[in-house]
Amino acid sequence: MQIYFRVKAAGKRRPVLELIEASLPDDVQCLGDAIRAIVTEQVQRFNARSIEQSIFPYLSPGQLEEQAEAGKVGFQAAYDDRKANAAAAVETALQAFEDGIYKVLINDTVVEDLQTSLTIAPGSVFTFIRLTLLSGMMR
């Protein structure tokens, strides 16, 4: 099933990145299953990126404009050949949710628990809001 997700970060000037298409298996029953599927797919995409070594890196004006609209301009090239570990990434994502590092909204409805039963329709939008902890000195 095709869904979309985006990541927001509190306190950023441009907190919304473009919608990213992802696919979920049909047997997803709870938020934990959805996070596992999304993180695993993103790790696979990350590991499949190409290692490019261009002598003259440049972006066309069209590429610059398109990437600026998305909120990040870059060469989209990988400079490191290390691969990510999907199992470790999933565990980190689940632990971060339990620790309150980010919140999840599905079609503008907040989901508070990893075991909450979900009804997800094709085209649903998952929004991951990364919360920022305040730090400073106490006097």
pLDDT in tens, 71-116: 777 766 656 678 889 999 999 999 999 999 999 999 989 999 999 8
Q: Is residue 74 part of a domain?
A: no
Residue 61: in which H helix or E strand, if any? helix 61-70
CATH number, domain with residue 105: 3.10.20
Distance CA 75, CA 57 (A): 8
Count of domains in the chain?
Answer: 1
Q: Which position has the higher pLDDT, 1 or 30?
A: 30
Q: Is residue 93 part of a domain?
A: yes
Q: Is residue 70 part of a domain?
A: no
Q: Is residue 58 part of a domain?
A: no
Q: Is residue 13 part of a domain?
A: yes
pLDDT in tens, 38-56: 999 999 988 887 655 555 5
Enclosing domain of residue 95: 2-48+79-130
Q: Is residue 135 part of a domain?
A: no
Q: Is residue 72 part of a domain?
A: no
**Quick count: other Cβ atoms within 10 Å of Cβ 72?**
10
Q: Is residue 104 part of a domain?
A: yes
Neighbour-count burial of 35, counting CB atoms closer than 10 A to its CB (0-12 exposed, 13-18 middle, 19+ buried): buried
Instruction: Give the global pTM.
Output: 0.73
